[in-house]
């Protein structure tokens, strides 16, 4: 009986699980000394985001923004969440990365 209660309690958590996705936006080419934006976006809440090392750049930020939406379509509720971390970077030296 205890196991049934635990399963019933966890069922709503399992049914709302989603795939976590991370996207990155940045220009493909920048000039030395040019400012540009580097944006990391993830579709899940969390406080453990750590950007990769940004060696060779002066980094300002992050500026954090969140987006939440909820909709009902044909009686079914859909929720979406996104958090973005935006950095302004300046390329300090000429370097090629692939």
Per-residue pLDDT of 2-61, as tens digits, reads 433 434 344 444 444 568 888 999 998 888 889 999 999 998 877 678 888 888 889 999
Res 96: pLDDT: 54
In a domain, 63, yes or no: yes
Q: Give me the domain span that covers residue 74.
A: 19-91
Q: Residue 62 falls within a domain, yes or no?
A: yes
Please give the pLDDT value at position 94: 67
With helix as H, strand as E and coil as C, how does 38-88 read?
Answer: EEEEECCCCCCCCCCCCCCEEEEEEEEEEEEEEEEECCEEEEEEEEEEEEE
Rounded to whole angstroms, the Cα distance separating 33 from 92 reads 6
- Residue 29, Cα to own-chain centre: how many angstroms? 23
**For residue 52, is it within any domain?**
yes
Q: Tell me if 29 is assigned to some domain.
A: yes
In eight-state DSSP terms, residue 90 is E
- What confidence score (pLDDT) does residue 95 get? 63
For the question of whether the overall pTM of this predicted structure is more than 0.95, the answer is no
Question: Residues 34, 77: contact at Cβ < 8 Å?
Answer: no
Quickly state the pLDDT bin for 83 (edges 50, 70, 90): very high
Residue 88 has pLDDT above 90, yes or no: yes
User: Which of the four pLDDT bands, split at 50, 70 and 90, describes residue 97?
Assistant: low
């Amino acid at each position: 009986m205890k196991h049934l209660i635990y399963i019933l309690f966890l069922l709503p958590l399992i049914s709302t699980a989603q795939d976590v996705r991370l996207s990155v936006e940045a220009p493909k080419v920048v000039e030395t000394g040019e400012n540009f934006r580097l944006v990391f976006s993830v579709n899940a809440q969390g406080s453990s985001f750590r950007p990769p090392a940004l060696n060779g750049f002066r980094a300002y930020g992050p500026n954090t923004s969140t987006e939440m939406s909820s909709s009902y379509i044909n009686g079914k509720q859909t929720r979406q969440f996104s958090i973005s971390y935006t950095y302004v970077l300046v390329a300090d030296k000429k370097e090629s990365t692939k």
